[in-house]
Structure 1
Amino acid sequence: MNEFVVGMGEALWDVLPEGKKIGGAPANFAYHVSQFGLPGRVISAVGNDALGNEIIENFTSKGLNHLIERVPYPTGTVQVEIDQAGIPQYDIKENVAWDNIPCTDAVMNIAKNTKAVCFGSLAQRNVVSRNTINSFLDAMPSTEDNLVVFDVNLRQGFYNKEILCSSMRRCNILKINDEELVTVSRMFGYPGIDLQDKCWILLGKYNLKMLILTCGINGSYVFTPGNVSFQPTPKVEVADTVGAGDSFTAAFIASVLKGKTVGDAHRCAVTTSAFVCTKKGAMPILPDEIKEM
């Protein structure tokens, strides 16, 4: 079928000041992809506990298709504190269920029918989930138009150069923000050049189809061989920025899969992420005018 759009990695609870909300970049990505009418799937793991039950019930109630394995580890949680600028600060608990996503026949069956996948660096902090992600990528159809998105998410030191290099070699679309790009460029040995030049270097070195660079209030860029798209960040009243980057990625990938140009996909992504910033939590319902973009 070669049709699924998969977010793979952490599924967890963001424990926000006003209470807990479903979180994790892969679930956010798959949820928003599904809102754009594509067959989104989230692959992760939860514990045999009440928090795990709630995650599965929540995904089901949202209509988000999922393959959530039960494992003998606690369901993941992240303590999120929002600063005065609305920027989240994270305390991500370790040795949890999503660190131990098993490589099952069901996971491999989805991989064989996947059109696009988004995975990050955080879910690779443990060897079990890292191996499952790599096995999934190995099992995907190797067609030219399949999209493999590596969404860099440098959190609490849960990353290293080896994992980043390996992931960049395996993807054909790299998503990174300006702060992460500075850190990566220091690790890779070219800290003294401007952000755009760093992006061109990565695009060429890893033979990428696209590189997406988000710069917060300073706009965002999509680099493709020989071209760059820039979009300013819309000015909105920010409730919080949790999940905004994931919604950007989802809207962009959904648009590309539906045949939109890079420029149109970029505009849809910016509009979507700006809307998510006006709402609390990572999974608000998108208005029809955004879905129809």
Structure 2
Amino acid sequence: MAIASRFPEPGETILGKGFQATPGGKGANQAVAAARLGARTMFIGRVGKDAFGDALVHELQTNGVDIKDLAREDGVPTGIAHIQVDEAGQNKIIIAPGANAGCGALELDRLLRVLPRTDALLLQMELPAVVSLEAAREAKEFGCSVILDPAPASPLPDEEYPLLDVILPNETEATILTGVTVTGPATAREAALRIQGRGVSIVVVKLGDQGAYYLGPTDEGHLPAMQVEVVDSVGAGDAFSAAFAVASAEGASLVEAVLWGNAAGALAVTQRGAQRAMPHRRDLLNLLKSTPESGQ
């Protein structure tokens, strides 16, 4: 992650204020967050046999994530995310999938073994699209809740939408999925209605500093973001998705799960880094108790 006062223009070189390399990746970030929030968490995927893979394995294990189904592959680099962060804490990210691109039959077989004791499957788009689709199909057959964080954003096949119980796009991803330019709650609602019309029961659009818009089978609404000092927005969406999944698996209502997501995202932006900024359960509960508008 490179930190600078602003993002460079095309063809421009600017001096940065700092650099750090830390474990990340959407799936791994969400696994760490879910574990810190109290869920028994299993991580299925691939990393290379390199220094980045070593660091990721160490971070997952340190945070109590079950990694027995994490494969390590010779001759292929661990996936990386090249991140730029400006002085406002906003970020731009390029992902090089590396070993993730090789995920396939092995990972699906491992998923089948754990689905009978799984409450929720949290998917991201850093895997090959066909793997994500088949994983959702397998989970649906076992009655497992299927939650998709559709990032990095790309159009989904029509057949995947009915397999999803929940989808959690941010503004950019909702725009790509629907063609609606999402800029706030009103346009988020328009995009959510289009997505729900394709067969997804619950749509939550993450709006960054504007909070989140949620649309379920019987209720909908907008919850504003919790007011905190933003240091670094990297990982905030992952914290939201993990917290939403954990709360839902524990039986929370839709609005309660969104509140958890908002609180987790708020805590994440107060620290630099991705996995290291993922919130712990005690901190999330304390924030909810101390924030009147949370309704807790």
TM over 0.5: yes
Task: Give the partner amino acid of 2:252.
Answer: K
Match of 1:118 among 113, 117, 122: 122
Instruction: Give the structure with the larger strand fraction.
Output: 1
Give the match for residue 92 of structure 2.
Answer: 89
Give the match for residue 5 of structure 1.
Answer: none
**8 Å contact kept, 1:248–1:270:** yes
**8 Å contact kept, 2:36–2:281:** no
Match of 2:175 among 166, 182, 185: 182
**What is the correspondence of 1:236-247 to structure 2 with a 5 Å cutoff?**
236-247=228-239
Structure 2: any 5+ residue segments left out of the alignment? 4-17, 289-296
Give the match for residue 109 of structure 1.
Answer: 113
**8 Å contact kept, 1:35–1:286:** yes
In structure 2, what is the Cα distance between the partners aligned to 1:242 and 1:191? 22
Give the match for residue 40 of structure 1.
Answer: 41
Deviation, structure 1 residue 134: 3.5
In structure 2, what is the Cα distance between the partners aligned to 1:133 and 1:198? 22
1:140 match: secondary structure: helix
How many percent of aligned residue pairs carry the same amino acid? 20
Task: Give the partner amino acid of 2:117.
Answer: N
Match of 2:146 among 145, 148, 153: 148
Task: Give the partner amino acid of 1:148.
Answer: V
Deviation, structure 1 residue 69: 0.6
Give the match for residue 7 of structure 1.
Answer: none
Give the match for residue 127 of structure 1.
Answer: none
Deviation, structure 1 residue 78: 1.6
2:59 match: secondary structure: helix
Give the match for residue 19 of structure 2.
Answer: 18
In structure 2, what is the Cα distance between the partners aligned to 1:83 and 1:56? 29
1:205 match: secondary structure: coil
In structure 2, what is the Cα distance between the partners aligned to 1:231 and 1:279? 22
CA deviations 1:197-234 (Å, max 9, x no partner) are 2212221321x221001112222111102311321112
**What is the correspondence of 1:55-66 to structure 2 with a 5 Å cutoff?**
55-66=56-67
In structure 1, what is the Cα distance between the partners aligned to 2:2 and 2:104? 25
User: What's the TM-score, normalizing by structure 2?
Assistant: 0.80
1:203 corresponds to 2:207: no
**8 Å contact kept, 1:82–1:240:** yes
Give the match for residue 282 of structure 1.
Answer: 274
**8 Å contact kept, 1:252–1:269:** yes
User: What's the TM-score, normalizing by structure 1?
Assistant: 0.80
In structure 1, what is the Cα distance between the partners aligned to 2:140 and 2:158? 22
Deviation, structure 1 residue 236: 1.2
In structure 2, what is the Cα distance between the partners aligned to 1:246 and 1:88? 14
1:68 corresponds to 2:70: yes
Task: Give the partner amino acid of 2:193.
Answer: W
Deviation, structure 1 residue 289: 4.1
In structure 2, what is the Cα distance between the partners aligned to 1:246 and 1:195? 19
Task: Give the partner amino acid of 2:241.
Answer: T
In structure 2, what is the Cα distance between the partners aligned to 1:23 and 1:49? 15
Structure 1: any 5+ residue segments left out of the alignment? 1-13, 125-129
CA deviations 1:156-182 (Å, max 9, x no partner) are xxx3x3x35343232111111122222
Q: 1:109 to 1:268 in 2, by over 3 A?
A: same
CA deviations 1:19-60 (Å, max 9, x no partner) are 111111111112111122211112110112222222212211
Give the match for residue 11 of structure 2.
Answer: none
Q: 1:197 to 1:133 in 2, by over 3 A?
A: closer
CA deviations 1:230-257 (Å, max 9, x no partner) are 2111221111111111111111121121
Task: Give the partner amino acid of 1:140.
Answer: A
Give the match for residue 52 of structure 1.
Answer: 53
